[in-house]
A and B are shown apart, each in its own frame.
Chain A
Amino acid sequence: MIATIGVASVDALFEEIPEGLRLTAPLAIPDGVSELEIVDDVHRLAARNRSADELVCFAGRGAYDHFIPSVVWALAGRSEFSTSYTPYQPELSQGVLQTLFEFQSMICELTGLEVSNASLYDGATALVEAARMSQTPDRDRIVVAGGVDPRLLETLRTYAAGPGFAIDVLTAPDGRGGVPNALEPDVAAVVVQHPNVHGLLEDVAAWSASAHAAGARSIQVFDPTSLGVLAPPGDLGVDIAVAEGQPLGNHLAFGGPYLGILAARLSDVRRMPGRIVGETIDVAGRPGYVLTLQAREQHIRREKATSNICTNQTLMAIAATVYLAWLGPEGYRELGERCAAKAAYAFEVLCHLPGVTPAFPGAPFFKEFAIRLPRPARDVIDSLVGRGFLAGVPAPWLGDDALLVAVTERRTRTEIDAFGEAMGMALA
């Protein structure tokens, strides 16, 4: 090969690098090892973690321990999917493209909205994209309901430093609500999370009406496991619906890879960020799929693009598609019903413990709720780890004593009873 190229050595191929910049010593990283040694190494590291296989998981706040049926990764994990690149040659990528078309279709069915893109990075960055999508030259203010997760708000604030939109955060008087009577004319969108960070149900239609009265868009952050039982965003006047898609067949994986979901009205399709797949025909009139509306995107519009997204989370969207098809309409409803039923049961069990009280008494919730403990939540979580439970997630904005507890369809009555018992002992 060297002779064909016409050089004396491989080193000669690096002569363009100025001499003063060439490394003279090896990189200071450990020597390469065999696969056998790597497997030992990662097993040792993994064993230092205490996963949801060891700890019965009641943690949520955006990432949930739902059951993942075997078909999901048996199919999404097929290496023709996992080792392919972005479908730049559609004739070689019909499988990926069609699965994304099916993903978009199913997301539209869930949300009651007209168009979906082919995924974004995660729920938090999907909210950022929805906010940008709403911005116009004379509307650069985003109004955020008090029930929106502070984690989403932090992400929104980080990205807002760039395009420079203003963010107003409202207060949620009872852990929810706080719909403004009137909005300023520079408001681009109102953001409400339903179910919200406390698991509580919001009156989304009222939020949408408030947004629309001011000529602003209504954005809802939703939980994709909730729409089998809760009304779809499209029926509540929502213009852009975004979600963390992890609960749809994706692993907890310490926070990623997950997927961002973004659905909107057809009239906004040219403002949508990210890849969108469309159906068309080939030269022989056969149906097929392509990436479409690419004139919106960075590789065509460059500095005028409304989003810089290139890589998305296609493989996670493929997993979500298989999971939703596994559920079917009945399974999707049952999933929501079971989450709600198990959460309601766990709420009763925990709130019967001495010193434990609901943070928002009487407020309806879906699969997550906030309670107050007689001790700091962090201490209780640590103590319950010793008893085999991941008790939940602290909610410091409500006070040190506040704990968010999430209950999925996966939790059994036996586990919930045992959790209540362990919590009782930890608090005694």
Chain B
Amino acid sequence: MSDIGAPVRRQGPPVATTIKDAARPGRRASRFPELDVPPASLPAGVSRTSPASLPEVSEVDLVRHYTRLSQSSYGLDTGFYPLGSCSMKHNPKVAETAANLPGFSRLHPLQPENTAQGTLELLWRLERALCEITGTARATLQPPAGACGEMTGLLLMRAFHDASGRSRRTVLIPDSAHGTNPASVTLGGYQAVAVPSDARGLVDVDALESMVDEDVAGLMLTNPNTLGLFERDIERIIGAVHDVGALAYYDGANLNAIMGRTRPGDMGFDIVHINTHKTFATPHGGGGPGAGPVGVVDRLVPFLPVPRVERDGETYHLIEDEPRSIGRMHGFHGNIGILVRAYVYISLHGADGLRTVSDRAVLNANYLASLVRDTFPLAHPDVAPMHEFVATAAALERATGIRAMDVAKRVIDLGFHPSTVYFPLVVDEALMIEPTETETKETLDAFAAALVQAASEAHTDPDLLRDAPVTTPVGRLDEARAARHLKLRW
């Protein structure tokens, strides 16, 4: 089992030794060619008077420092990463090879379109594939992350309602939604209104139907929802929204569960965002980059951001002149290097492969759920989960005082990255677990065994959990102190 979850171990000098600490006056790694033109003189008074105090280090200092820091980071290549809602699946290496081809990586964003035909063709093909997967007509690839995709969607809603001359005030969001949803709603100039969940963990449709009126601009929903459950009343939900002239927005966080099985567009959604770093396995880089393409149905196409890629025979164009467009969501064309990787992922899998991705994601989640649910009960046991499930440590907490976070920290010492904890907010002591399709049965068995072991230790040796983790470069960190005594730079 040693290859399952090789955790980050304490090694080398204390982690907090910064590159500044390694610096010595006069050392440097950089060297420029001799200046082959006359030096320029800048006008008086505009110059920097004292040098920027950057670290003075040699190349070997630099390499060892950041290599050591990389070794105190846990990536997907390190081990299992069952963060619920994040779809941390294996990132194929060939996608890196593709994105790093100089033909893609050394292309200037403002060079003439006839010198960028390969990239434009790739973007066109990717857009077609994303529209097919989501059941939408056209898509913008510009938003650099999911939250920006949400903002794009809200601006599309606003433009649509403005064009029809009926301004609206509110956007409905389930109470289990991710925090970016309400934040995006506010930034889009709308008021977020929470829709309650019912005992099953699904949208309370009766409540929803009593809440919709002509003030509602739209509804934002994930399906499967944030609890990992499929909203089986989705047609009734969207019907209620459409009946008052509002739009339905699909948050693509959980698209990994349904590819090739059903499509947001077929459910009736008007706007769909996709997180390429979730569904299409683009590396998330320690928190970014992502990419958040947004697909829309026909009636919203005129409002999509510019520039847009259009095809004319074998030639591709970037179109800027779209008078009804909401404008520009990114300074250039979006996170193209990430979109190249998403294209590679989709090409590798194809139609059958993507369906298999979702089949295995759902199979793995249900298998893991059946191994742990006796120990950590499912928050909503009446509906079978899809690609992820939310279990609860509430009973364990009542019996032993051990909390979900303690379990997570003990799991680290047992060799794994833990699941998401305390999200969604509507579940007490939540453990939100998403194994993804790329994990083997052996890994799932070992992770389940670790969770069961931790729960047992909570009764027999609770300090093992309270003091965890002890194998990592640092133990539990004082977050309150970090916010109280701000130290944000050296």
Quick one: which of B20, B409, B467 contacts A105, CB cutoff 8 A? B20
Q: A162-B188, A251-B105 are contacts. A26–B145 as well, Cβ < 8 Å?
A: no
Q: Which of B293-301, B335-343, B390-398 contacts A (4 or more CB under 8 A)?
A: B335-343
Output the residue of A50, A90, A275 with the most chain B CB within 10 A: A50
Which residues of B444-490 have CB atoms within 8 Å of chain A's CB atoms? 467, 469, 472-479, 481-483, 485-490
Q: Which of B39, B115, B369 contacts A337 (CB 8 A)?
A: B39
Number of interface residues of A (CB under 8 A): 198
Contact: A332 with B232, CB < 8 Å?
no
Q: How far is the CA of A278 from the CA of B230 in the complex (A)?
A: 39
CB of A397 closer than 8 Å to a CB of B: no
Please tell me if the beta carbons of B352 and A328 are within 8 angstroms of each other in the complex. no
User: What distance in Å separates the Cβ of A320 from its nearest Cβ neighbour in chain B?
Assistant: 12
Of A2, A39, A123, A164, which contacts B97 at CB under 8 A? A39
Task: Flag if A328 contacts B106 (CB, 8 Å).
Answer: no
Do the beta carbons of B148 and A125 come within 8 Å of each other? yes
CB distance from A408 to the nearest CB of B (A): 11
The A-contacting residues of B in range 119-138, CB under 8 angstroms, are 119, 121-122, 128-129, 132-133
Q: Is the CB of B107 within 8 A of A21?
A: no
Is there a chain A Cβ closer than 8 Å to B255's Cβ?
no
Do A29 and B133 touch across chains, with their CB atoms under 8 A apart?
Answer: yes
A15: chain B residues within 8 A (beta carbon): 384
> When A104-B489, A256-B289, A269-B488 are in contact, do A16 and B117 touch as well, CB less than 8 Å?
no
Identify which of residues 237-262 in chain B touch chain A, using a CB-to-CB cut-off of 8 Å: 258-262
* A17→B179 contact, CB < 8 A: no
List residues of chain B with CB within 8 A of the CB of A115.
488-489
Given A85-B88, A269-B486, A282-B474, also A110-B111 (CB < 8 A): no
**Complexed CA–CA distance, A385 and B350 (Å):** 37
Q: Are B116 and A49 in contact (CB under 8 A)?
A: yes
**Cross-chain contact B289 with A17 (CB below 8 angstroms):** no
Decide: A295 and B483 in contact? CB cutoff 8 A.
yes
A residues in contact with B420, CB < 8 Å: 88
Q: Is the CB of A283 within 8 A of B284?
A: no
Tell which of A62, A162, A333, A393 has the most Cβ of chain B within 10 Å.
Answer: A162
- Within B81-140, which residues are at the interface with A (CB < 8 Å)? 81, 83, 86, 88, 91-92, 94, 96-99, 101-112, 114-119, 121-122, 128-129, 132-133
Using a CB-CB cutoff of 8 Å, which residues 233-256 of chain A contact chain B?
A: 244, 251-256
Partner of A91, one of B108, B111, B305, B409: B409
B75 pairs with A256, CB closer than 8 A: no
Instruction: Assess the B56–A328 pair: CB atoms within 8 A.
Output: yes
Docked-complex contact A310 and B55, CB < 8 angstroms = no
Taking a contact as CB atoms closer than 8 A, the residue among B66, B122, B363, B472 that contacts A75 in the complex is B66
Residues of B within 8 A of A328 (CB): 27-30, 54-57
Contact (Cβ within 8 A) B262 A31: no
Closest chain-A Cβ to B69's Cβ sits at a distance in Å of: 4
Contact A252 B288 (CB under 8 A): no
The closest CB in chain B to the CB of A413 belongs to B36
Cα A318 to Cα B73 with chains together (Å): 13
| Beta-carbon nearest neighbor of B108 in chain A | A59
Rounded to whole Å, the gap between the CB of A185 and the closest CB of chain B is 23
Are A345 and B101 touching (Cβ within 8 A)?
A: no
CB distance from B143 to the nearest CB of A (A): 9
Given contacts A80-B73, A95-B71, contact A256 B334 (CB under 8 A): yes
A76-104, CB < 8 A from B? 76-96, 98-102, 104
Contact A31 B351 (CB under 8 A): yes
| Nearest CB of A to B138, in Å | 15
B482 contacts A278, C-beta separation under 8 Å = yes
Instruction: Choose among A32, A290, A341, A413 the residue with the greatest number of B CB atoms under 10 Å from its CB.
Output: A32
A330 contacts chain B at the CB level, 8 A cutoff:
yes
In contact, A327 and B54 (Cβ under 8 angstroms): yes
On whether the beta carbons of A108 and B489 are closer than 8 Å, the reply is: yes
| In the complex, chain A residues whose CB is within 8 Å of the CB of B20 | 102, 105
Chain A nearest CB from B404 CB (Å) reads: 13
A343 x B40 contact (CB < 8 A) = yes
Q: How far is the CB of B374 from chain A (nearest CB, A)?
A: 12
Contact A59 B110 (CB under 8 A): yes
Partner of B42, one of A21, A59, A302, A340: A340
Closest residue of chain A to B387 (Cβ to Cβ) is A13
A48: B residues at CB distance < 8 A:
103, 117-118, 121
A282 to B185, CA, bound (A): 37
Q: Indicate if the CB atoms of A163 and B187 lie closer than 8 Å.
A: yes
Known: A81-B285, A89-B412, A328-B29. A253 touches B107 (CB 8 A): yes
Question: How far does the alpha carbon of A260 sit from the alpha carbon of B64 in the complex, in Å?
Answer: 27
Q: How far is the CA of A321 from the CA of B369 in the complex (A)?
A: 41
Q: In the complex the two chains form, is B132's CB within 8 Å of A16's CB?
A: no
Which one, B40, B69, B305, B330, contacts A344 given CB within 8 A? B40
Binary A-proximity of B301-335 (CB < 8 A = 1, otherwise 0): 00001000000000000000000001111111111
Q: Which residue of A lies closest to B171 (CB)?
A: A303
Name the distance in Å between B418's Cβ and chain A's nearest Cβ.
6
Q: Are B286 and A85 in contact (CB under 8 A)?
A: yes
| 10 interchain pairs, CB-CB under 8 A | A42-B104, A51-B107, A61-B110, A81-B285, A87-B286, A93-B74, A256-B289, A311-B284, A327-B54, A328-B56
Q: Which 5 A-B pairs have the closest CB atoms?
A: A46-B103, A255-B332, A315-B285, A32-B350, A124-B331
4 more A-B contacts (CB under 8 A) besides A80-B78, A95-B73? A84-B284, A86-B287, A257-B144, A412-B36
